[in-house]
Chains A and B, each alone.
Chain A
Amino acid sequence: MCTTRYFQTALKSLPVLAVLFYLPGLAMAQEEGGDASGTEKAETSIELVFTESNNHNKLLSATVKTKIEDVYQPVSGIEVRFYQTEVNPEQLLGIATSNKKGIAVLIVPEEKMDKSTPEYTFIAAVENNEQFEDNQEEVSAAESDFEITLETEDSVRMVHISFQAPDATGALAPVAEAEVHLYVQRMVGLLPLSDDPETTDENGEVSAEFPGDIPGDEDGNLIIVARVEDHERYGNLEFRRKVKWGVPLVIDPDRDRRQLWSSRANAPLYLIFIVNAMLIGIWGVIAYIIYNIFQIRKLGRQHAS
């Protein structure tokens, strides 16, 4: 009877528990999903960036944001359509979905590009979305030739940059007074080689001395990166080149030895021994006490029988 009553009480309390589990989520959902009713679509802002890498890969990156409580927040998971020249199904280059930061990226497929003119217009558009109004943003970029060459002259390592673009006749002409940034690729970012960017001369060229004390990989390899950033006519241009100009990385052989600061696989043997000996010793005694508990029960049963 008593047990039944307990079950009944427990069953009665289930809805309360369910509400307890559900309410926090409900409260937060209401805070976030202001116009879930769908009566009014939210507006978006799109920022479109064009980047060309090593004179070959063309990349379009659209950042989609929306205003929540007067602050622009990234919109994740939204579909962005990329077009060339105009919004038209025939001019569609591809579709990408934004990530957590609201960024949708498309590597422009060469075969779909219209290369009849040396200047391109790309469009990123949010269309027919259930939550957001239609919006589009365009960016223009002209064809260019941006390249770096590396030379060692009298033991001095030099980075030469050449920046050219087709003129009205289609022949390559130098791009003067363009700012070029030089970097070295590191594990989580780019290391600038100078505080200020270099500027191309009337020949569209610029040269810079490369320092000799930058650590590379085990073979001394480095990746040198030259960038033109946010150029009003050519957009973002990047050129990367791998070269053995770094100081070869010497891996400390002590790193793989058994140390306190090593990985778990390389724990010091003395520590493994001490910790395990203590564990076995103490838990051995605990096991003995539990054995004693069974002995007490056994004696009680023997006496009862």
Chain B
Amino acid sequence: MKTKKSESAGHFTDQSEAISRDLMPKPFGLSGKIWVAVLSFVFLLGFFFYIQQLRYGLGITAMRDYSTWGIYIANFVFFVAISLVGSLISAILKLSGAKWRTPLTRISEMIAVSSIVFAALVIIVDMGRPDRFMNVILHARIQSPITWDVLVITTYLAISLLLLYLPLIPDLAFMRDRFSDIPAWQKKMYTFMALGWKGLPGQEKILRRAEQILAILIIPVAFGIHTVTSWLFATTLRPGWDSSDFGPYFVSGAFMVGAGGVIAAMYIFRTHYSLEKYLTDKHFDYMGRLLVLLSLVYLYFNINEYFVPAYKMKGQEAEHLNALFYGRYAPLFWSVQIFGMVAPIIVLLFRRGRKPLPMFIIAILVVVGAWFKRFLIVIPTLSHPYIPMDRVPESWQHYLPTFKEWSITAATLAGALLIVTLLTRLFPAIPMVETMEEANPEHKETEIA
């Protein structure tokens, strides 16, 4: 793609041109095409099995009378958790005046939108009769946390879309005005989405105010979405779920995995698109410090969540905890606690640990650990009901997901990554105009001369 330097306002500096050249969305190279092909294959394979599930029901999964929630719901909680990164970067860091967050905002919002879209889809995947989905809304019981979850997910999705879209408007106008050799449909799309943006003071004022309002609004909604998700469990009398601090436990874990997700994405974009000038070591260092803080908070809640019931070891709760500490789930439980939480804290406390590559490895550990952490929250509890399992088939007493179930779950993860990938193909992953303005505070790149 080329930019039209001569036709635009006279103050389009060389530095701005370099920034736009670096940050503009680029066609996929060979590695990008392979990446998209792999994601598409995983997605289509899962879709193929989902069609089977639609035709033959949830019987194709390993879910039975006891494990009525399986990896679909663990995956749902993971998606909701990682979506909180949007509010962390776009709202909490913005309101706290952290200027360094600029290159991270778009990536985090893209992750937030794709995650929350798939969180909603996964709920439908988990339904035995998705054709009855509308009944959840038409016959909703307002007393049910499931109803609250539907409401808050929809609300969070709407705000996340706006938080992705509004800061994108100046970039859209910039691409509309300055990119000459892009396909006509792409130009039309930029023109339509840019809303006639000219960088007028009135437009600037409205846009900044709207962004500020959204940044404030999304924080309680973000806390709400994950608190309500935690209540789906905590309002149920089950060992491992019957806890009063499930809300903050979930929210703190969500911020941690969100930070891990954005760090991993930062590293991939930095290396793949050579964005070292924009996603600098300083950004990794700051995100590393933030991740340590979030991990410590989450560690604190983990200690509360496991130590207090383990001190009492009462009834079914003891059976549940024994299965986690020494039993069937112990290898997974200790791996998640050590590699997904303790190791990141230790490594990131050192300056060398906060360099991009170690940070990327740690971020992957955090994200993978977070997924299995949700597995450990959902599944072992269901295997230890208060009423003992009696005269039921052996296969009902344990839950081991089927290949089809794994494939469908992998498809949702691939789908979310595919959305992020396609969004970065169409829109700049790092805000272009904002970066230019920060580099040249006196220039307004999309303002009419």
**Residue A23 contacts which of B48, B200, B203, B214 (CB distance < 8 angstroms)?**
B48
Whether A72 sits at the interface, judged by CB under 8 Å, is no
How many residues belonging to A are interface residues under a CB distance threshold of 8 Å?
37
B195 adjacent to A297 (CB under 8 Å): yes
Residue of A nearest to B201 (CB): A299
Q: Which of B80-88, B134-142, B276-284, B289-297 contacts A (4 or more CB under 8 A)?
A: B134-142
A299-B202 contact in complex given A2-B184, A24-B49, A264-B139, C-beta closer than 8 Å: yes
Chain B residues near A304 (CB, 8 Å)? 196, 198
Chain B residues near A288 (CB, 8 Å)? 213
Interface residues of B in 127-185 (CB under 8 A from A): 139-143, 148, 151, 155, 158-159, 162, 166, 169, 183-185
A21-B202 contact in complex given A260-B143, A289-B210, A303-B448, C-beta closer than 8 Å: no
Min CB distance B284 to A, Å, is 33
A262 adjacent to B203 (CB under 8 Å): no
Whether A14 sits at the interface, judged by CB under 8 Å, is no
A21 to B54, CA, bound (A): 10
Whether A277 sits at the interface, judged by CB under 8 Å, is no
Whether A203 sits at the interface, judged by CB under 8 Å, is no
Residue of A nearest to B142 (CB): A267
Whether A121 sits at the interface, judged by CB under 8 Å, is no
Instruction: State the majority secondary structure of interface residues on B.
Output: helix
How many residues belonging to B are interface residues under a CB distance threshold of 8 Å?
40
Whether A171 sits at the interface, judged by CB under 8 Å, is no
A24-B51 contact in complex given A275-B142, A295-B206, A297-B195, C-beta closer than 8 Å: yes
Min CB distance B146 to A, Å, is 12
Whether B44 sits at the interface, judged by CB under 8 Å, is yes
B142 adjacent to A272 (CB under 8 Å): yes
Whether B241 sits at the interface, judged by CB under 8 Å, is no
Whether B221 sits at the interface, judged by CB under 8 Å, is yes
Residue of B nearest to A3 (CB): B185
B221 adjacent to A282 (CB under 8 Å): yes
Whether B56 sits at the interface, judged by CB under 8 Å, is yes
Whether A296 sits at the interface, judged by CB under 8 Å, is yes
B206 adjacent to A292 (CB under 8 Å): yes
27 examples of A-B residue contacts, CB within 8 angstroms: A3-B185, A20-B48, A20-B51, A21-B51, A24-B48, A24-B52, A24-B55, A25-B51, A268-B143, A271-B142, A272-B142, A275-B148, A282-B155, A282-B221, A286-B162, A292-B207, A292-B209, A292-B210, A293-B195, A296-B195, A296-B196, A296-B197, A296-B203, A299-B206, A300-B200, A304-B196, A304-B198
Top 4 closest pairs, chain A to chain B, by CB: A300-B196, A24-B52, A297-B195, A264-B141
